Chains A and B, each alone.
Chain A
């Protein structure tokens, strides 16, 4: 079974600061997804990364994928309060149809 680990699990950061969330996974996959979840809400798709070296940016968030290292990063630039949420990465099994989600990173941006 594929394992997906995120760190940190909890992150409290000040507005205006930068930080990176890491997503490591345990087996071969070329496809990785990032989602955001607000408390009591469903998941919102942020990024779809479909190949090694893929980099995508939207606003203050940038995601990248290194399939050789089995690592994806979600970088936050100049954080604002509206980014407070839980962020999940999800990995697509190359040899099957399952999606495995990480444990999530709960981000709180403090004014």
Chain B
């Protein structure tokens, strides 16, 4: 079956602009996670959804970052007033439930100029 998909694969934007990153999880997976990975580092947890609600958003670095999952499937990570330090690969993962293995998407490489 189809895996986790993310769009766009690459996004280049200018400092101060707004961006949206999309994640389409595996069908039937109730848990969805967003991570950020900088070069040479492990993924950094951002937010976890169980169904439609953000069960844990403690990893979001500041209030410029926001994520939604309105129908319990597709999720969008939104970044306002982007800064150069936001440049990273943003990864999405989904799993059947809270403790199952996570299946990762290919990531969106965000570059803020």
Contact = CB atoms under 8 A, between A and B. Distances in A.
Interface of A: 4, 31, 33, 35, 41-45, 48, 50, 88, 90, 92, 96-104
Contact of B104 (A43, A48, A103): A43
Interface string B72-110: 000000000000000000010100001111111111000
A96 B56 contact: yes
A98 B91 contact: no
25 contacts: A33-B101, A33-B102, A41-B106, A42-B104, A43-B91, A43-B93, A43-B104, A44-B104, A45-B104, A48-B100, A50-B99, A88-B43, A90-B42, A97-B56, A97-B98, A98-B56, A99-B33, A100-B45, A101-B35, A101-B43, A101-B44, A101-B45, A102-B42, A104-B40, A104-B41
Given A42-B91, A96-B58, A97-B56, A103 B42 contact: yes
B59 interface: yes
Contacts of B44: 101
Given A101-B42, A104-B41, A48 B107 contact: no
A99 B45 contact: yes
Contacts of A45: 101-104
B77 to A, nearest CB: 16
B55 interface: yes
Nearest to A35: B104
Contacts of B93: 43
A103 B44 CA distance: 10
Given A33-B101, A42-B91, 13 more contacts: A31-B99, A42-B104, A42-B105, A43-B43, A43-B93, A45-B101, A45-B103, A96-B58, A97-B98, A98-B45, A98-B58, A101-B42, A104-B42
Contacts of A101: 35, 42-45
Contacts of B104: 35, 42-45
Contacts of A99: 33, 35, 45, 102
B111 to A, nearest CB: 15
